[in-house]
A and B are shown apart, each in its own frame.
Chain A
């Protein structure tokens, strides 16, 4: 069993839909990261969470430390949101090493 599990692996939506991507992890962590990767592109950090909820524009990320679960929500999705979304976690004594989920491929159709 992977330490970080994401679901779904693939997600197709129509423009304007509300999207949720889930991440579950099995180890103690100091922080959880949500990352975005456009096709052929680099990796961009969207959020770093250690508790609670963060919002940036149409993106919202939440984390429940007790349940070892995080969600990334996209409100009013747009075709430019089409990308791979990656969940990654870091343990407290990990020297900053990240363990990654396999990613969720999101495609938003106009």
Chain B
């Protein structure tokens, strides 16, 4: 049981390059999320998908796009990378169902450096 799988684990980009971070979960969860983690800032939400076919902006969406490809997969795209996007990116999933508490599951992270 793999849980949440992210690829790649490490990436170095030049300013202006594009890339897609991949995320897949095998727990049949409805909801998926992309967070970024920066020193002193904690984790912040970039985008989320509450259910298959829907996506919404989080706290820091600028410079990113997402695609909920199917129930399993949720990708994050950087169209034109900037040094400010150097961060650790985490994908997460949950079976959120109002008003009940839910478990959250995280991937191993993608460490991205933009030079």
Distance between A29 CB and nearest chain B CB, rounded to angstroms: 9
Q: Does A27 contact B (CB under 8 A)?
A: no
Residues of B in contact with A, size category: 20 to 34
Instruction: Say how far B10's CB is from chain A's closest CB, in angstroms.
Output: 10
Residue from A35, A42, A98 within 8 A of B109 (CB atoms): A42
How far is it, in angstroms, between the C-alpha of A102 and the C-alpha of B44 when the chains are bound?
10
Q: B residues within 8 A CB of A101?
A: 42
Interface size on A, residues (CB 8 A): 27
Verify if B50 is at the interface (C-beta below 8 Å from A).
yes
In contact, B102 and A92 (Cβ under 8 angstroms): no
Taken residue by residue from 87 to 110, chain A's Cβ proximity to chain B (1 for < 8 Å, 0 otherwise) reads as: 010101111111011110000000
Which of A30, A43, A97 meets B99, CB within 8 Å? A30
From A86, A95, A102, contact of B41 by CB (8 A): A102
Decide if A31 is an interface residue (CB 8 Å cutoff): yes
**Are A30 and B101 within 8 A (Cβ)?**
yes
Which residues of B are found within 8 Å of A96, using beta-carbon distances?
31, 33, 48, 50, 94, 96, 102, 104
Docked Cα-Cα span, A43 to B96, in Å, equals: 19
Chain A nearest CB from B39 CB (Å) reads 10
